[in-house]
Amino acid sequence: MTRNLYESTAAELATGSVEHVSYDTAPDAAAKWLETNGYDAAPVNKDGDPVGFIHESDIDTEDTDDTLETVLTPLTINYIISGDTTFAESLAALIDEPIYFLGGHNQITGILTRADLNTPPARMYLFDRITYLEEHLRELISAEVSDWKQTPVSTDELDGIEDRYADAKAANVELSEIYYAQFSTLSTIVSSVESCWQQCGFSTTGEAQSRLHDITELRNDVAHANLLVENTDSDEFLSSGRTTENLYTLLGDIERILTSLADAGYAPEIAAE
């Protein structure tokens, strides 16, 4: 049986306290209002109903029109997202557009932007998936690599494992030593042993090293509350800093490795039965 994994929806990711701007607001005043409040965007209401939205990139303080008519983006179905959209689906949607709105009862109830991928619900979702992958990799190594200490694991890493194992043993709660290896160490072992990286679905050791390195970097950013998406202005894969598309690709890699290992019988739940 697969354990229940943490789920996160668009409603949990989105900013729920939504302030709107009036259609009759001058663009220069609206631009200053966005800047003052630190908003990327805001819905525009006319006669009490949402008719569109403004984005910081579309208006400036030099525009002195009387209304927001020429600078607002109509609020079409392309910019609406359901509150129960899954994390993966929300992430995919944010590659296409940088902003979405949640609605109910003819009102905007939430705003979802790429910046929301740096919030606690996103970290909790990713940490759970990466931890689950870590459990799978330990099961794989335990089954396939009895001499894992002879792989390219550094002396410092081995010393750290042995110290953590000794502490656990002194407290009479020890597990096998591989359970005290960090994620980066597990990645090193898996990418250096052909039977392991093949079971993970990789075609070469180089591919395993590259993909697992990127997942390790993401794992560290999740654990240390660093930015998960460093570049919210671009969805280009090769842009500077991790983009929304980069994050989507990493999540896909994690899911594919988990599927490959489960298909091969290395899921922790299977091993425990």
Please count the CA atoms within 13 angstroms of the CA of 160 that sit on its side-chain side.
12
Q: Phi first, then psi: what are they for 129, rounded to 5°?
A: -65, -40
**C-alpha torsion 133→172→167→218, nearest 10:** 10
Q: Average pLDDT over the chain, rounded to whole?
A: 91
In this prediction, residue 103 carries a pLDDT of 84
Nearest to 16 by CA among 114, 119, 109, 115: 109
Query: Each residue of 80-116: pLDDT tens digit?
Result: 999 999 999 999 999 999 999 998 777 899 999 999 9
Each residue's pLDDT tens digit, 110-127: 999 999 999 999 999 999
Quick one: pLDDT at residue 182? Answer: 96
The tens digit of pLDDT for each residue in 36-78 reads 988 888 999 999 889 999 988 888 877 778 899 989 999 899 9
Name the residue with tokens 């109903």. Answer: 49
Distance CA 32, CA 46 (A): 20
- Residue 212's nearest CA partner among 257, 266, 155 is 257
Nearest to 219 by CA among 133, 160, 141: 133
- Domains of the chain in sequence order: 10-114 (3.10.580.10), 120-272 (no CATH)
Residue 2 pLDDT greater than 80, yes or no: no
Q: Where residue 12 falls among pLDDT bands split at 50, 70, 90?
A: very high
Predicted pLDDT at 272: 39
Supply the DSSP string of the chain, one letter for each residue: -PPPPP--BHHHHSB-S---EETTS-HHHHHHHHHHHT-SEEEEEETTEEEEEEETTT--TT---SSSTTTPEE--GGGB--TT-BHHHHHHHHHH-SEEEEEETTEEEEEEEGGGGGSHHHHHHHHHHHHHHHHHHHHHHHHH-TTGGGSS--HHHHHHHHHHHHHHHHTT----GGGGS-HHHHHHHHHH-HHHHHHTT-SSHHHHHHHHHHHHHHHHHHHTT--S-S-SS---TTSSS--HHHHHHHHHHHHHHHHHHHHTT--HHHHH-
Residue 202: pLDDT over 80: yes
Contact 136, 267 (CB under 8 A): yes
* pLDDT (0 to 100) of residue 256: 97
Q: Cα dihedral sign for 231, 109, 91, 257?
A: positive
The first and second tokens of residue 47, run together, are 């006669």
Per-residue model confidence as pLDDT tens digits over 129-171: 999 999 999 999 999 999 999 999 999 999 999 999 999 999 9
- Distance of alpha carbon 272 from alpha carbon 92, whole angstroms: 34
Do β-strands 107-113 and 73-74 pair in parallel, antiparallel, or remain unpaired?
Answer: unpaired
How many Å apart are CA 242 and CA 248, to the nearest integer?
Answer: 10
Res 273 pLDDT > 50: no
Pairing of strands 21-22, 41-46: parallel
Residue 261: per-residue pLDDT:
95
